[in-house]
Amino acid sequence: MLSENGRIRLSASDLMRFMSCTHASHLDLERLQGRGPEPARDSEDAALLQRYGDAHEAGHLETLRAGGDVVEIEKDQPFSQAVAATVTALRQGPATVFQGALEGGAWGGWSDFLERVDVPSDLGPYSYEVADTKLKRKPSPSHLLQLVLYSDLLTPLQGRSPENAHVLLGDGTRASFRLAEYADYARQARTRLETFVNAPWPTRPVPCATCDLCRWRENCAAVWESEGSLFRVAGISRSQVTKLENAGVMTMTGLAARKENIPRLAAPTFDRLRLQARLQTHRPTKGPHHALRDPAGGKGFDLLPEPAIGDLFYDIEGDPFYAEGGTEGLEYLHGVWDGDDFTALWAHDHTAEKQALITLFQLFDARLSAYPHAHIYHYAASIAPGC
């Protein structure tokens, strides 16, 4: 969101953020108007993703430059001049316009690539389609919001709507979309954001998949903490919070103290959530502590084998964005606890990754040969917080 000559200019990022969390847009708006909390600095993860994203885009640009016929729009100039330069570039008709500046109505932004296609338009016997680089390996609905926006902004400049738009994915593949199939959804989303900006409705922070990378994460965490929010109860979902609030349970301590069941919340689920709330409520005085659930056939410990001499506990960490020699991803750490010692097998490149895997299997092989009844355990949370 930018304020320009008394008007707010919205971008594709604003739209994607709004569709993930209306409260983030509320805080963005407050900030723009000089109110509200300070945003947090980019997290290390966000900065890393940004770096990888820039490198992915730069890599594609280098490939195109090698073939020539690319016009690049300078970003370091007033936006209106960049828009004018983009219009000039489109009229020249290069194979690719990099970083085209587009605007219309309340919207504006920088498309990654505008690709020439042999479809006549007001520009001549050709027109352009939008192609954006994304680190992900699969396209997502948020990509379509961006592609439709840029394509709609491109339309008046060439006198016709592009038929397709494209995502250049992090694994080197290209996904293409017929815009007519997605335009209504994306335009409705834009209208909804414009309505919100003109007359914001009340919002509140609700945990979602984008919180970790959100610049308001520290503020929202402080709100949840100060309110004793139900969202702090580990493993609770958004719909469960709604049911509890509808029954008058508004806080974690309220849930911990609740005696009666909650309408439309199954009793075992309520018991689990209340126990979790009690454990967390008592943590400041008791420190970290736990409670064992009643044994249940086919669940929890009942699913595990009896402990055996030689059991191992294993975990693995990977970086899905690591790129080396055209191969994506790196499993950079294997960790094994044998009850006495912890073994860490690190890898900082693919050669070391291969060796670490060989060493790991040798370790497993030796252990299971020495203790044929041993097990290898790997832990993963089975309950995700509601998003």
The verdict on 220 binding ligand SF4 (CB under 6 A) reads yes
Calpha distance 13→22 (Å, rounded): 13
Nearer Cβ to ligand SF4, position 291 or 384?
A: 384
Q: What are phi and psi of 363, to 5 degrees?
A: -65, -45
Judged by CB under 6 A, which stretch of 114-122, 206-214, 353-361, 366-374 contacts ligand SF4? 206-214
Calpha distance 104→156 (Å, rounded): 9
Nearer Cβ to ligand SF4, position 221 or 279?
A: 221
User: How many angstroms separate the first and last alpha carbons of the chain?
Assistant: 24
Q: What would the DSSP string read from start to end of 331-371?
A: EEEEEEE-SS-EEEEE-SSHHHHHHHHHHHHHHHHHHHHH-
Nearer Cβ to ligand SF4, position 19 or 333?
A: 19
The verdict on 155 binding ligand SF4 (CB under 6 A) reads no
Q: Which helix (H) or strand (E) segment is 133 a member of?
A: strand 127-133
Judged by CB under 6 A, which stretch of 22-30, 88-96, 136-144, 302-310 contacts ligand SF4? 22-30
Judged by CB under 6 A, which stretch of 81-89, 126-134, 209-217, 303-311 contacts ligand SF4? 209-217
Cβ-contact 326, 310 below 8 angstroms: no
The verdict on 210 binding ligand SF4 (CB under 6 A) reads yes
Cβ-contact 386, 236 below 8 angstroms: yes
- What contacts 348, CB < 8 A, 6 or more positions away? 332
Strands 376-378 and 312-324: parallel
> Can you tell me which of 84, 95, 119, 208 binds ligand SF4, judged by CB under 6 A?
208
The verdict on 312 binding ligand SF4 (CB under 6 A) reads no
Calpha distance 196→203 (Å, rounded): 11
The verdict on 21 binding ligand SF4 (CB under 6 A) reads yes
> Can you tell me which of 157, 214, 244, 252 binds ligand SF4, judged by CB under 6 A?
214
Q: How far is CA 246 from the centre of its chain?
A: 30
Rounded least distance, CB 215 to ligand SF4, Å: 7
The verdict on 23 binding ligand SF4 (CB under 6 A) reads yes
Nearer Cβ to ligand SF4, position 98 or 216?
A: 216
Nearer Cβ to ligand SF4, position 165 or 211?
A: 211
Judged by CB under 6 A, which stretch of 16-24, 35-43, 323-331, 342-350 contacts ligand SF4? 16-24
The verdict on 232 binding ligand SF4 (CB under 6 A) reads no
Calpha distance 216→39 (Å, rounded): 5
Calpha distance 283→277 (Å, rounded): 10
The residue assigned the tokens 């895997």 is: 357
> Can you tell me which of 205, 256, 347, 353 binds ligand SF4, judged by CB under 6 A?
205
The verdict on 216 binding ligand SF4 (CB under 6 A) reads yes
Task: State the residues that interact with ligand SF4 by CB under 6 A.
Answer: 21, 23-24, 27, 205-208, 210-211, 214, 216-217, 220
